[in-house]
Structure formats: structure tokens, C-alpha cells
């Protein structure tokens, strides 16, 4: 197929796509915009608390479909910056209220509404131009073929050509051919411009990106400080624990060497003490290594590591894992120690007798919830273990949510964006 034929086919394909998309743009976007405005307006009456999550969910689906078409038709990638819902949201009217609040607090919701307004105005006009430049020339050809006779006693304007005779009909055909060639050149760029408009409305603003960068920079500094503190702890544990035992064991062995011929019985006692010291030093080293990176985590993955962790807890526990793959080692390590700290807090402070751990991966997000049936009242605050977990997750752009009413139960939800191997 020649390049000219390819260009014609590509332009006609773009025009057809623009024609089909124009209905979604003018009808779908207009309807959803009107419904969204009405639903948000009726929140004060209570009705909007029920309808808003459904309507805004439909808006997100509508925008998501446009993102897919932008990537497939024009190779334009539009980010999906929605804040994830924490797991364990309640059902019924209370759950609808929570979803409404979360959606309205999400800046991406207001970008969606702004995009609907752009899509049903400027976006629609661009789509119409994309296919009209290819369709409008047909009218010029029809006028030249004889339709001009209908306007023989009057004047019909085709573009800037007044059609009232065969000559002017032929002029209309020439203009139509010229417009068609413009359409062949402009149809695809106009379709792409439509998606560029969508990207400009749906993508996060530079200010939002700057705030996110500041947050990541802050958590990175905190991670560096935490790592330095951890290294100092390891050095201190080695110096005060295993190293001291090994030094004592060496001294005992030196004494044994001097006594082995003079006092075999005493030498035998010192050998037994050295053997005990070596076993204790080995145990301390194993505990230290487990605190740095548990072997089961490297060998079996996050799910089995959390199961093993829960088995060591003094409370009854139930672990559910739906993670079909392995995340990157740093992500697994952060998630493991976050769960470990959460379980430790529950054992120390909640007064619970049972813990549930639920872990699953969906939509590029690792979600872990730890629930206990204790007395509640947990909160993220300065100096608390939950603050440390939040800093640890923040290094990976993760989030922590705590739902702990007085009297319990307490649910700690952690989310980390990641891909699985």
C-alpha cells in the first residue's frame, strides 16, 4: 500500500474515531457534569450523601475510558492520580458518607469535573472539526453533481462560495476537494489535540507535584536518619552482646589451655561454659540478623514471613494473603516491619485477644490491614509506633490509615504502590 493510501486510511480512521467519540463527549460528559453538580448540591439535604459516590464513580470510569483511548489512539499517557480508598470501609449509609468525604477531599475529583466541562465544550468542538473536515467535502461534490439546481432560483452558500449554477457548483466541488485535503492533514492532529486537552485537565498540577516531591524528599531524609539509627543499634548490640560473649569465650578457652593438664576437671567446666557462651552468641546473632532482614522473608516471600511473624505472637491470629507474586525486596522489607510494629503495638497496648491480618494486591497497590478486637483509642502521633510506621511507608509513597474508635475494634490499614514479579 502506497504512503498516500496509508495517509488517507489513517485520516479516515481518525475521523471515524472522532465521530464516535463526539457522542460520548457531548452526551456523556454533559450528563455526568449536570448530575455531579446536582448531587454535590444536594449533599446538604442528605440525598447527595447517597448519590455522590455512585455518580463520581461513574465520572471516574468515564475519565478512565478516555485515558485508555488516549493511550491506544494517540499514544498519550494520562496519569491516574486518585487516592486509594482504605480497606475496611463500612457498609450502608455510614459507608456512603465515608466514600463521599474521601472523594470530595481528593483533588483528582475536582480535576475530573473540570475535565467534563472542557470535554463537552472545547473537546467536542475539536472532535467535530476532526471528522467534519472529511465529511463536509461530500456536500460540495453533491452540489456539483446536480444538487445546485435546487438552489437555481436562490443562493446557497457552501463555505464562502455562493452556489446557484453549474459553474458555482463546480467551484463548490473544488473548495470541497481543498477542504478534504486539509482534513487529511489535520484529522489526526485534531484528534490528538482532543486528548492533549484531556491530559491538561486530568493531570496533577505542578503545585501538587511539587508538594508530592517535598513529601517524598522529607520521607527520604527520615529514611536515611532511620537507617543511620539502625546501624548504630546494630553496632551497639554487637558490641554489648555477641562480641562480649565471644571475648569471654576466648578468655575461657585460654584458661582451659593452661588448666587442661593441671586441672582437667576445671578445664572441663570451663569448656562447658565456653560452649554455652557460643550457643548464646549464636542465638543473639540470629536474632540480630532476623531484625535486619528475616531469612524467611528472603526465602519464602512476604506472605509466609507475616504468617511466621503472627505465629510468634502471644495472641490468637488469623492471616489471609492474596498476593500472587513477589514485590521488590525493599518494599517487602518495609511492609514486613510495618506489620511487625503494628502487631507489637496491638500486643502491648490494645488489650485484645485476637488479631486478623489481611493482605492483598490489586490495581498496582499492596494493601495490608491489621485488625484487633481490643479497646481502641489508637492514633498516629508524635513519638508513637504508628508514626514510625507512617514514616517507613512514606519512603515508598505509601499511606497509613488508622480507624480506632473508643471501645474498639482497631483497624490499621497500610497501602504501598508496587508491582509484582
* Rounded CA separation 356/365 (Å): 20
Q: What is the pLDDT of residue 236?
A: 62
In a domain, 310, yes or no: yes
Q: Are residues 154 and 23 in the same domain?
A: yes
In a domain, 368, yes or no: yes
Query: Could you tell me if residue 410 is inside a domain?
Result: yes
Which residues on neighbouring strands pair with residue 362, listed in sequence order?
A: 365
Residue 302 and residue 240 in one domain: no
Predicted confidence at residue 126, as pLDDT, reads 94
Burial classification of residue 372, based on how many CB atoms lie within 10 Å of its CB (0-12 exposed, 13-18 middle, 19 or more buried): buried
- Measured between alpha carbons, how far is 335 from 313 in angstroms, rounded to an integer? 17
Is the same domain home to 50 and 191?
yes
For the whole model, what pTM was predicted? Answer: 0.53
| Beta-bridge partner residues of 355 | 317, 372
Same domain, 165 and 256: no
Q: Residue for cell digits 432560483?
A: 153
Per the structure block, which three cell numbers stand in for 173? Answer: 466541488
CA–CA separation, 106 and 389 (whole Å) = 23
| Domain containing residue 367: CATH number | 3.30.565.10
Do both 67 and 158 map to the same domain?
Answer: yes
Residue showing cell 468542538: 125
Residue 157 and residue 24 share a domain: yes
Are 193 and 259 in the same domain? Answer: no
Looking at the fold, whether 56 and 193 belong to one and the same domain comes out as yes
233 shares a domain with 325: no
Please indicate, yes or no, whether residues 380 and 235 belong to a single structural domain of this protein: no
- The reply to whether 208 falls in a domain is no
Query: Which residue range is the domain that position 88 belongs to?
Result: 3-202
Peptide bond before 409: cis, by omega within 30 degrees of 0? yes
Name the residue among 349, 24, 396 with its Cα closest to residue 222: 396
Q: Is residue 265 part of a domain?
A: yes
Spatial contact of 160 and 35, defined as CB atoms under 8 Å apart: no
Residues 343 and 399 in one domain: yes
Where does residue 364 fall: left (phi above 0), alpha (psi -120 to 50 degrees), or beta otherwise? left
329 domain residue, yes or no: yes
User: Quick count: other Cβ atoms within 10 Å of Cβ 98?
Assistant: 17
Number of domains in the chain: 3
Beta carbons of 241 and 277 less than 8 angstroms apart: no
Query: Distance from CA of residue 341 to its chain's centroid?
Result: 24
Model pLDDT, residue 124:
93
Same domain (yes/no): 353, 333:
yes
Secondary structure (DSSP) of 178-222: HHHHHHHHHHHHHHHHHHHHHHHHHSPPHHHHHHHHHHHHHHHHH
Show Cβ contacts of residue 355 under 8 Å, excluding neighbours closer than 6 positions. 310, 313, 315, 316, 317, 318, 343, 346, 370, 371, 372
Q: Coil, helix or strand for 420?
A: coil
Given 253, 273, 292, the domain boundary residue is 292
* Domain contains 207: no
Q: What does 68-137 look like in DSSP terms, one character per residue?
A: HHHHHHH-------PPPPPTT---HHHHHHHHHHHHHH-HHHHHHHHHHHHIIIIIHHHHHHHHHHHHHH
Mode of pairing for the β-strands spanning 365-372 and 161-163? unpaired
Domain boundary among the residues 292, 325, 352 is at 292
Flag whether 225 is in a domain.
yes
pLDDT values of the chain reduced to their tens digit, one per residue, 421 residues: 677 778 888 888 988 999 999 999 999 999 999 999 999 988 888 888 888 989 999 999 999 999 999 988 988 888 888 877 765 566 777 777 888 888 888 888 999 999 999 999 999 999 999 999 988 888 888 888 877 777 767 778 888 888 878 888 888 889 988 988 888 899 999 999 999 999 988 887 766 666 666 666 666 666 666 566 666 666 665 655 566 666 667 777 777 777 777 777 777 777 777 777 777 767 666 665 555 566 777 788 888 888 888 888 888 888 888 888 888 888 888 888 888 888 888 888 878 888 889 988 877 788 898 888 888 877 776 555 677 788 778 777 788 888 888 777 888 888 888 888 7
User: Which pLDDT belongs to residue 414?
Assistant: 87
Of 179, 202, 225, which residue constitutes the final position of a domain? 202
Amino acid at each position: 500500500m502506497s504512503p498516500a493510501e496509508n495517509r488517507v486510511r489513517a485520516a479516515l480512521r481518525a475521523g471515524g474515531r472522532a465521530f464516535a467519540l463526539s457522542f460520548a463527549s457531548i452526551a456523556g460528559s454533559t450528563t455526568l457534569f449536570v448530575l455531579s453538580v446536582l448531587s454535590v448540591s444536594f449533599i446538604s439535604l442528605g440525598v447527595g450523601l447517597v448519590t455522590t459516590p455512585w455518580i463520581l464513580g461513574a465520572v471516574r470510569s468515564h475519565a478512565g475510558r478516555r485515558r485508555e483511548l488516549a493511550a491506544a489512539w494517540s499514544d498519550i499517557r494520562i496519569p491516574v492520580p486518585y487516592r486509594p480508598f482504605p480497606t475496611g470501609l463500612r457498609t450502608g449509609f455510614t459507608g456512603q458518607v465515608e466514600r463521599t468525604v474521601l472523594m470530595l477531599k481528593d483533588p483528582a475529583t475536582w480535576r475530573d469535573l473540570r475535565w467534563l466541562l472542557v470535554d463537552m465544550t472545547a473537546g467536542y468542538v475539536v472532535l467535530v472539526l476532526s471528522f467534519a473536515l472529511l465529511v463536509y467535502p461530500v456536500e460540495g461534490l453533491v452540489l456539483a453533481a446536480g444538487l445546485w439546481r435546487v438552489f437555481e432560483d436562490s443562493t446557497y452558500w457552501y463555505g464562502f462560495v455562493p452556489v446557484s449554477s453549474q459553474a458555482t457548483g463546480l467551484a463548490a466541488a473544488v473548495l470541497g476537494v481543498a477542504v478534504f485535503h486539509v482534513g487529511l492533514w489535520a484529522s489526526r492532529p485534531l484528534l490528538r489535540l482532543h486528548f492533549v486537552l484531556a491530559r491538561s485537565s486530568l493531570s496533577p498540577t505542578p503545585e501538587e507535584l511539587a508538594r508530592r516531591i517535598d513529601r517524598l524528599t522529607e520521607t527520604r531524609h527520615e529514611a536515611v536518619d532511620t537507617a543511620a539509627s539502625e546501624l548504630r543499634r546494630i553496632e551497639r548490640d554487637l558490641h554489648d552482646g555477641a562480641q562480649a560473649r565471644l571475648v569471654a569465650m576466648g578468655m575461657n578457652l585460654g584458661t582451659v589451655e593452661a588448666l587442661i593438664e593441671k586441672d582437667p576437671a576445671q578445664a572441663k567446666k570451663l569448656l562447658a561454659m565456653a560452649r554455652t557462651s557460643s550457643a548464646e552468641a549464636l542465638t543473639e546473632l540470629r536474632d540480630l540478623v532476623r531484625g535486619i532482614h528475616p531469612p524467611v522473608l528472603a526465602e519464602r516471600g512476604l506472605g509466609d514471613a507475616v504468617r511466621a511473624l503472627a505465629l510468634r505472637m502471644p495472641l490468637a491470629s488469623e492471616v489471609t494473603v492474596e498476593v500472587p507474586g513477589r514485590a521488590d525486596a525493599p518494599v517487602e522489607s518495609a511492609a514486613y516491619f510495618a506489620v511487625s510494629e503494628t502487631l507489637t503495638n496491638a500486643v502491648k497496648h490494645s488489650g485484645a485477644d485476637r488479631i486478623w491480618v489481611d493482605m492483598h494486591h490489586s490495581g498496582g497497590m499492596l494493601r495490608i490491614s491489621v485488625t484487633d478486637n481490643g479497646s481502641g483509642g489508637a492514633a498516629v502521633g508524635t513519638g508513637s509506633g504508628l508514626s514510625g510506621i507512617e514514616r517507613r511507608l512514606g519512603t515508598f509513597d505509601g499511606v497509613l490509615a488508622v480507624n480506632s474508635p473508643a471501645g474498639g475494634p482497631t483497624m490499621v490499614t497500610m497501602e504501598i504502590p508496587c508491582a509484582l514479579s
